[in-house]
């Protein structure tokens, strides 16, 4: 796929000659005679690089550079004559990625453009890597839900918000019933399929403001901001019903299903993070003690 370049220069001869050369170099090229035309073109055209003269009527190249850097993720190379009253530092401080003096050789221009494209590709790859690393740091790789560490980070923030603004906050804790027996019977690979399915089922039952976590092993947690206990119980009941509906085939000719035990609680005045989690966890274990496959509300 050809890289795209927008040329902005009110010197028609230079603009056309640069446009012709870059087209021959297999770039996709558009051009504008002033900064205002360039701004209009950018509404519908996403170049990899904007190549702009500094000295232009109306809006000069540095103003255009600042505007582009504020509104778009596009690199800018500015052009100026040797006698112009602009410095390299001014161009860079305005957001330009490079600076070239007129008259220049086309070969030099092409080398500078290629360098800018390489640097942009490296930056994009680095940013993606950092984003992926950040996601890995807070995400459980098997279920796709947030991990234990992120749960504690988020619940602390939500409890602080409750303490400051008295906004409703509920918590669900879920545990897959007899999961050890399932693993012992069918093997851990089949158990992992159940865990992956749990991640999808829980996520499908939540609103955009809710968040789900793999709390550990076969245990999960769901944070429900702006949610009273009654509504949280409806969410938990829906998750439990959808889990029961899921059919697994651990080996050919065998179909089976699993259930979950659930504890539900709404935070109360004066309660801290540890107490809130313990109270919900106790409700979960009462569900297990009373026969599993049920939801229990915390006292």
Active-site annotation, residues? 218
d(CA 61, CA 39) in angstroms, rounded, equals 12
- The helix (run of H) or strand (run of E) holding residue 265 is strand 260-266
Return the DSSP state at 208.
T
In angstroms, the CA 171 to CA 203 distance is: 15
Q: How far is CA 42 from CA 17, 45, 151, in A?
A: 21, 5, 42
| 237: Cβ contacts below 8 Å, ≥ 6 apart | 295
């Amino acid at each position: 796929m050809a890289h795209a370049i927008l040329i902005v220069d009110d010197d028609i001869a230079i603009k056309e000659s640069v446009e012709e050369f870059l087209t021959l170099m297999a770039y996709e090229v558009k051009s504008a005679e002033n900064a205002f035309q360039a701004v209009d073109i950018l509404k519908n055209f996403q170049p990899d690089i904007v190549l702009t003269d500094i000295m232009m009527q109306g809006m000069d190249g540095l103003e255009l550079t600042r505007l582009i850097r504020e509104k778009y993720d596009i690199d800018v190379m500015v052009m100026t004559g040797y006698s112009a009253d602009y410095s390299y530092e001014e161009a860079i401080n305005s957001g330009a990625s490079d600076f070239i003096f007129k008259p220049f050789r086309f070969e030099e221009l092409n080398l500078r453009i290629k360098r800018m494209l390489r640097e942009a590709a490296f930056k994009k790859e680095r940013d993606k890597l950092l984003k992926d690393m950040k996601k890995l740091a807070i995400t459980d790789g098997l279920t796709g839900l947030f991990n234990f560490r992120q749960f504690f980070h988020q619940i602390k923030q939500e409890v602080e918000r409750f303490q400051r603004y008295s906004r409703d906050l509920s918590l669900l804790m879920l545990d897959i019933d007899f999961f050890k027996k399932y693993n012992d019977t069918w093997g851990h690979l089949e158990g992992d399929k159940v865990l992956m399915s749990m991640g999808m089922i829980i996520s499908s039952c939540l609103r955009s403001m809710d968040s789900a976590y793999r709390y550990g092993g076969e245990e999960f947690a769901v944070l429900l901001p702006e949610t009273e206990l009654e509504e949280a119980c409806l969410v938990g009941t829906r998750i439990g019903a959808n889990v029961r509906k899921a059919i697994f085939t651990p080996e050919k000719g065998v179909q089976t299903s699993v259930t979950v035990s659930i504890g539900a609680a709404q935070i109360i005045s004066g309660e801290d993070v540890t107490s809130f989690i313990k109270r919900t966890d106790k409700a979960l274990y009462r569900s297990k003690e009373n026969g599993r496959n049920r939801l229990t509300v915390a006292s």
